[in-house]
A and B are shown apart, each in its own frame.
Chain A
Amino acid sequence: MKPKVGFYWMGTCGGCEESVVDLAERILDVVAAVDIIFWPVAMDFKLEDVEAMADGSIAVAIINGSVKTSHDEYVAKMLRKKAGLVIAYGSCAHLGGIPGLANFHSIDAIFDRVYKEVPTVYNDKGIVPQLRTEIDGMILELPTINNTVQKLDDIVSVDYYIPGCAPNPDLLMAGIQAILSGNLPPVGSVLSPNRNMCDSCPKERKEEKIMVKEFKRYYEIIPDEDQCLLEQGLMCLGPVTRIGCGELCMKANMPCRGCYGPTDQIEDMGTKYASALATIWYETNEEDIDRIVRSIPNFASIAYMFSLPASIMKRKRIKSEVDFK
């Protein structure tokens, strides 16, 4: 019998689903080796059918998206029980992803902006969506939207992580092959090599230490295509980001924003990045590093672009030791 595999999405943009479709003809190899039992974007699927299955009867559940509603939480817990292995697929499930930037704000502030303040909305009565609405005796219900965006392992234990926004389909292929051959790394591993982007980046570091005095913003310079972007003053998260994407952004002459998350040694991307600067920048005293960090407005939103829910801050209101803003 072929092992059963299921894909599921929580708060997603659909890009992770597209990355599976981007396996193109290789999807046929996957179908030959495993039995895909649910995949909502491509196949009809009933939650009840999965609920009815015996615990542990699914070999692998591959879950993308961040946890944003009570429904997401429920499904994650249910799948955890049914599946031998749970894989967090993509930045959102792995680290919270870009939707996690919502944690800089409260859900009330978000509702106010979206339903009352945007310039096109006309809402004299101040209506906002309700969990339960009755119209002529008909009841219409909506799910609760949580105040805080969470990553998958905040809700259930996760066996492996496939990083990226969206993940490189090669990593998914390799992950599936590793599972099929039983050749698995220790539980909790991120299934992409534990090295940082600068290791394999095609751009050249010219100097031992970086000599620019402050960060530059995209619109201020046209960077040389062959030279390290950080060296040219662009904030590149390469030094703290795990490889696996194929150095895609740098090949397009754009700096890395860290969607593959940190290497194993790093707990928190933002703080680590600030301290890494100290070792590669020509100035090493704290004041200078502080000035460099402040030369970019809202440094935290870039340093934690994909990982705010995984940071030591988690939410803005939780004071961190390092306050970047």
Chain B
Amino acid sequence: MITIDPVTRLEGHGKISIHLNEEGEVNAAYFQVPELRGFEKFIEGMPVEEMPRVTQRICGVCPTAHHMAATRALDDLWKVEPPSAAHKIREFIYNSFLHEDHTLHFYFLGGPDFVVGPDAPKAERNILGVIQAAGIEAGKKVIGMRKEIREIMTEITGKVIHPVFGLPGGISKALNKDIQDRAIKASERAIEFAQWTIGLFDKIVLGNEEYVKLITGDIYRNETYYMGMVDKNDKVNFYRGDIKIVDPNGKEYAKFDVHKYTDYIAEHVEPWTYVRQTYLKPIGWKGFVDGPDSGIYRVNPLARLNVAGGMATPLAQKEYERLYSTLGGKPVHATLAWHWARLVELLYAGERMLELASDPEFVDSNVRTLPDKLTEESRGIGVVEAPRGTLIHDYTTDENAVIKHANLIVATQQNAAPINMGIGQAARGLIQKGVPVTDGLLNKVEMAFRAYDPCFACATHTLPGQLPLNLEIYDHRDKLLQKVNMANYDRIDTIDSRIQEEIK
């Protein structure tokens, strides 16, 4: 068995183990989530209006996603429609958040594999390596962009790590002209930044035949259902819309209002991980297999692009078309194309930010509708597209707006089963008899995982999480050959020779 524990350059903690058979070939691979925090339980009994501030402590990397899903659930719980200005400001913030988070992923977490190269020495496969490859000016640009957006988010939401501005029926504070001017400038830069990033991706990734082969090859491919949110025109939307599912052929399987989510999403419990595995309820749990007869579905940027008819903004739409024409039409099943899809969304987020910030309503003083008091038990469900996929918050309260029950379905949890499959597939494709298990090779296994940008804090909302990646290798007798940290090259050689020895 090979265990990758903790998975490096990922947000949170986790563990992958790869089990070999007598021939030294891959028998099985498991991705385990080792934590549970129990938010669904401990928020019972709390005043529901505190949820936007409480549930975001599930994840400090995407607190804005939890904050917004909870806030949308509160609108629904009180059946209160926020003023149009409040919707626009919320959606502006939400797109700002997607922009800075996708930037974080591309440059800090997933991108280094491409920009620096999957076989590059471990010590260089990080943001510093990216800066080296792309130039110090580029590095400054990345840090500067995130900083500018995060400062505006702090001013509007109160705090960028754990915002406080979301309330049932609106937001806590109206905006002034000064912040609008800065928001417009930041949005313009955000568009330019996205275009520049796509240019970089073009040059470094698409310009390299090896990488294109890697992306489109069989190692990183799973044919699954996809889920994502779309607006009325069937375009990608992060903030509001209906949930849509397409089948592995790209045909619409279902489109529904979020209130019906329990008709479509079900969860399965495995004894060896703390995370619940989701599947499509009408199809059922058939285990960790892909294809149209298995209920496994994926969420994430590419899933969103696969379900939608296109992007709502012109530049992003062009890039969307280029992605599909390059990769052979819809749907794209290549897991590594996630990275490209993320950049299409980066561009969309910038364009959408500009549309919203330029709207005269952005500075409207009416940003809140006070709801009527509840008179009976109520239920509020809120859904948003988090950077890593669909996120659902569901609260049931008594007539005093105190939580009786809650359910939370997060993105990384929905991708847990696909990650399990993806890892096994990549490991089987890469680890073969007689092929030395090198650092670069193991990194390529990890890449199957990193493409999902799995955020373990989120997956572990039900958990207390730890996940830098160690790689454990077990032989067919389940004896631990060696526990390796991915950073340590010497050890890799040792393992390699020991595996070879064991196989002999």
Do A and B make up one complex? yes
Residues of A within 8 A of B466 (CB): 9-11, 69, 71-72, 143
Is B159's CB within 8 Å of the partner chain A?
yes
Give every chain B residue within 8 A of A252 (Cβ-Cβ): 157-159, 164-165, 172-173
Q: Are A121 and B276 in contact (CB under 8 A)?
A: yes
Which 8 interchain pairs have the tightest Cβ spacing?
A15-B60, A252-B158, A44-B487, A11-B464, A110-B38, A68-B464, A98-B57, A140-B272
Segment among A78-86, A182-190, A215-223, A269-277 that sits at the interface with chain B? A215-223
Kindly supply a per-residue 1/0 record for chain B positions 172-187, scoring 1 wherever the CB is within 8 Å of any chain A CB and 0 otherwise: 1100000000000000
In the assembled complex, which residues on chain A have CB atoms less than 8 Å from the CB atom of B168?
218-219
Residues 65-95 of B contacting A (Cβ, < 8 Å): 74, 78
- A165 interface contact, C-beta 8 A: yes
Q: Check: A225 CB closer than 8 A to any chain B CB.
A: yes
Q: Determine if B464 and A69 form an interchain contact, defined as CB atoms under 8 angstroms apart.
A: yes
Interface centre among B13, B30, B37, B53 (most CB of A within 10 A): B37
Interface centre among A113, A120, A127, A142 (most CB of B within 10 A): A120
User: Which residue from B45, B57, B165, B268 sits with its C-beta under 8 Å from A254?
Assistant: B165
Identify B11's interface contact among A14, A44, A45, A220, CB under 8 A. A14
- Select one of A10, A105, A149, A219 contacting B41, CB under 8 A: A105
| B38 and A114 contact, CB distance less than 8 A | yes
The answer on a CB contact under 8 Å between B60 and A113 is no
Which of A14, A24, A102 meets B457, CB within 8 Å?
A14
Q: Which residues of A contact B (CB under 8 A)?
A: 9-19, 22, 24-25, 40-46, 48, 66, 68-69, 71-72, 97-99, 101-102, 104-105, 107, 109-111, 113-115, 118-123, 127-130, 133, 135-140, 142-143, 145, 149, 165-166, 217-222, 225, 245, 248-249, 251-254, 257, 296-298, 301-302, 305
Known: A14-B457, A130-B271. A113 touches B40 (CB 8 A): yes
B323 within 8 A of A: no
Q: Which B residues touch A120, using CB under 8 A?
A: 261-262, 265-267, 278, 407, 409
Assembly CA distance A13 to B459 (angstroms): 11
In the complex, chain A residues whose CB is within 8 Å of the CB of B54: 98, 101, 305
Q: Counting CB contacts under 8 A, is B59 at the interface? A: yes
CB-based contact B488/A46 at 8 Å: yes
CA distance A135 to B17 in the complex (A): 13
Contact of B214 with A by CB under 8 A? no
Known: A13-B457, A15-B162, A98-B54. A219 touches B46 (CB 8 A): no
> When chains A and B are docked, how far (Å) is the Cα of A222 from the Cα of B146?
32
Complex contacts, B268 vs chain A, CB 8 Å: 121-123
Sample of 14 A–B contacts (CB below 8 Å): A12-B465, A13-B57, A44-B468, A48-B485, A69-B466, A97-B57, A101-B54, A110-B41, A129-B273, A138-B27, A139-B478, A166-B60, A219-B74, A301-B50
**Nearest A residue to B57, CB-CB:** A98
Is B462 interfacial (CB 8 A cutoff)? yes
Within 8 Å of chain A (Cβ to Cβ): is B222? no
Known: A129-B274, A251-B158. A114 touches B409 (CB 8 A): no
Q: Do A44 and B8 form a contact, CB below 8 Å, given A14-B59, A129-B271, A305-B54?
A: yes
Q: Does B189 contact A (CB under 8 A)?
A: no
A99-B57 CB under 8 A given contacts A45-B487, A219-B168, A254-B172: yes
**B6 cross-chain contacts in A, Cβ below 8 A:** 40
Q: Evaluate contact between B272 and A104: CB separation under 8 angstroms.
A: no
| Residues in B neighbouring A104, C-beta threshold 8 A | 42, 45
A142 touches B42 (CB 8 A): no
B150 beta carbon closer than 8 Å to chain A: yes
Which B residues are within 8 Å of any A CB, using their own CB? Answer: 1, 6, 8-9, 11-13, 17, 19, 27-28, 30, 32, 34-38, 40-47, 49-50, 53-54, 57-61, 63, 74, 78, 108, 122-123, 126-127, 140, 143, 146-147, 150, 154, 157-162, 164-165, 167-169, 172-173, 261-262, 265-274, 276, 278, 285, 368, 370-371, 373, 394, 400-402, 405, 407, 409, 455, 457, 462-466, 468, 470, 474, 477-478, 485-488
Please name all residues of chain B whose beta carbon is closer than 8 Å to the beta carbon of A166 when the two chains form the complex.
60, 161-162
Complex contact A140–B32 (CB within 8 A): yes
B272 touches A142 (CB 8 A): yes
Q: Contact between A40 and B271 (Cβ–Cβ < 8 Å)?
A: no
Residues of chain A with a CB closer than 8 A to B276's CB: 114-115, 121
- Which residues on A sit within 8 Å (CB–CB) of B165? 252, 254
- Complex CA distance for A304 and B74, rounded to whole angstroms: 23
The residues of A that contact B261 with a CB separation of less than 8 Å are 120
Q: Establish whether residues B161 and A15, one from each chain, have CB atoms under 8 Å apart when the complex forms.
A: yes
The one of B12, B47, B169 that contacts A297, using a Cβ cutoff of 8 Å: B47
Kindly list chain B residues whose C-beta atoms are within 8 Å of the C-beta of A139: 478
Judge whether A113 and B41 touch: CB under 8 Å: yes
Contact between A18 and B60, CB atoms less than 8 A apart = yes
Residue of A nearest to B1 (CB): A138
With a CB–CB cut-off of 8 A, which chain B residues contact A24? 143, 146-147
Q: Are B160 and A22 in contact (CB under 8 A)?
A: yes
Give the chain B neighbours of A12 by CB distance below 8 A. Answer: 60, 457, 465
**Quick check: B401 and A15 within 8 Å, CB to CB?**
no
Q: Which residues of B contact A42 (CB under 8 A)?
A: 9, 108, 126-127
Q: A44-B485, A130-B272, A136-B28 are in contact. Are A119 and B58 (CB under 8 A)?
A: no
Of all chain B residues, which has the CB nearest A149?
A: B464
Complex CA distance for A302 and B278, rounded to whole angstroms: 32
Q: Are A102 and B41 in contact (CB under 8 A)?
A: yes
A275 CB to nearest B CB, Å? 22
Once the chains bind, are B42 and A101 in contact (CB under 8 Å)?
yes
Given A14-B59, A123-B268, is A142 in contact with B464 using a C-beta cutoff of 8 Å?
A: no
**Do residues B487 and A68 form an inter-chain contact, with CB atoms below 8 A?**
no
Task: Assess whether B173 is in contact with A225, with CB atoms less than 8 Å apart.
Answer: yes
Q: Given A24-B143, A105-B38, A138-B28, check contact A41 B11 (CB 8 Å).
A: yes
Instruction: Tell me which of A98, A109, A115 contacts B269 (CB under 8 A).
Output: A115
Tell me the smallest distance from the CB of B54 to a CB of chain A, in Å.
6
